Structure 1
Amino acid sequence: MSIRRITMTPGARRVLEAASRLFYERGIHAVGVDLIAAEAGVTKKTLYDRFGSKEQLVVEYLAARDERWRQFLAERTPEVGAGPADRVLAVFEASRAWMSENGAKGCSMVKAHAEISDPVHPAFAIITAQKQWMLALFTGLVGELGPDRADERARTLMLLHEGALVAHGVRVFPDPIGHARDEAGRLLADWAREAAG
């Protein structure tokens, strides 16, 4: 499914910045276009002229957040000089840093999915694609350790990772992402021993 995106003007960027902050802090359904326009310092007409609908604004919010996350992760995941296990653990460390800087309330995709569960909504595809991308990333990294059971092991890492993001957002216990990273490290060490025979 192709996701329609818009070209950002300075006014559209102000709207998107305001909407992104409000959607993340308060929830997508709880935030109306009047509030977004007021926070961005534009008229509601300008908002609709730039985005066409609140739905498109949600698409831009989630797509921009996903792009920022992927760039953030790419900058923090070593490509050269590190083994696949180190790169897996770097994903957890990047998530920990991201949440510290950008995610006090947890994963924006998980939060959005709680409000957007209809596959017809254009933002739904962004949410699911982001999680599929993460699973593919773990699958590729675990596959480098050895192809046996790579899919199953990647799912295990994904569950640790996503569960840690949710636990971070609800603040049940301190540093859930660090805890998940440590658990992932133990699993990776076990898998490496199994592969060595």
Structure 2
Amino acid sequence: MPASKRDQLLATAERLFYEQGFHATGIDRIVAAAGVVRMTLYNHFASKEALVAAVLQARHERFLASLEAAMAAAAPGQATLALVDAHGDWLERYSRHGCIMAKAMGEFAEHSAEIHAMAAGAKADLLARLEAAVARDGLDHQAGLARRLFLALEGSNTAVALLGPETALADTRALAETLIATARGVTP
């Protein structure tokens, strides 16, 4: 089934925003790459900012769905590591050059409180999923564990571009295993 024009615009804009930056990517570049006319874009999105918001929302929903699926399929006591692995899989497949939400926070900090808040909210959602996974694994008694894991995952968002996915993700998983083992009172 062919993608709708709206979906085509979202996919094209997401790719270009991620590769080239939000502010560096103009509407003309997006419509040309999507193979539509400018009016088609404005029939679906009131402004470039509305397009950015839609791109971030759609990407975030896909990301959360991947985390939720991994946690749901995890064996008892393994939800946290399943989430860490799902985050790593996402980075390897879709974010080899860093996190689009972090990019949005940087580019929109001074330009759009709404977009900045949306991207920051996505980060808060990741932390909330980590808190849920830690609780599901019975580790919520360990104050700050979810936050420390969050910092490790956020670090991998940057490290993947520098160290490559294999090294960055292996090191992130090893760190997560150590944090979890320590929380369980097991010497790693």
Structure 1 and Structure 2 fold alike (TM over 0.5): yes
The code of the aligned residue for 1:82 comes to P
Q: Which residue of 1 aligns with 2:96?
A: 104
Amino acid at match of 2:14: S
**Contact kept in structure 1, 2:92 and 2:165, CA below 8 Å:** no
- 2:175 is the counterpart of 1:183: yes
Aligned counterparts of 2:111 and 2:147: Cα–Cα separation in 1:
22
Structure 2 residue identity aligned to 1:67? E
Query: Which of 21-30 and 162-171 deviates more?
Result: 162-171
**1: CA distance, partners of 2:74 / 2:95:** 28
TM-score by length of 1: 0.84
The residue type paired with residue 20 of structure 1 is E
Q: Answer yes or no: is the 8 Å Cα contact 1:107–1:169 preserved in 2.
A: no
Contact 1:135 1:155 in 2 (8 A): yes
RMSD: 2.1
Q: Which moved more, 1:67-76 or 1:23-32?
A: 67-76
Tell me the equivalent position of 2:108.
116
Contact 2:156 2:169 (C-alpha < 8 Å) held by counterparts: yes
Aligned to 1:64: 58
Match of 1:148 in 2: 141
Unaligned runs of 5+ in 2: none
2:151 to 153, 159, 164: 159
SS of the residue aligned with 2:56? helix
Distance in 2 separating the partners of 1:93 and 1:19: 27
Q: What count of residue pairs does the alignment treat as equivalent? A: 183
Runs of 4+ aligned residues of structure 1 deviating over 4 Å after TM superposition are none
In structure 1, runs of 5+ residues without a counterpart are 1-8
Aligned partner of 1:192 in structure 2 is 184
For the 8 Å contact 2:96–2:165, the answer to whether it is kept is no
Cα deviation for residue 78 of structure 1 reads: 3.6
The 5 Å alignment of 1:53-92 reads: 53-79=47-73, 81-83=75-77, 86-92=78-84
Write the distance in 2 (CA, Å) between the matches of 1:149 and 1:161. Answer: 18
The alignment's TM-score, normalised by the length of structure 2, stands at 0.87
1:38 to 32, 39, 52: 32
Displacement of 1:49 in angstroms is: 2.3
Cα gap change, 1:119/1:26 in structure 2, threshold over 3 Å: closer, same or farther?
closer
**In structure 2, what is the equivalent of residue 3 of structure 1?**
none
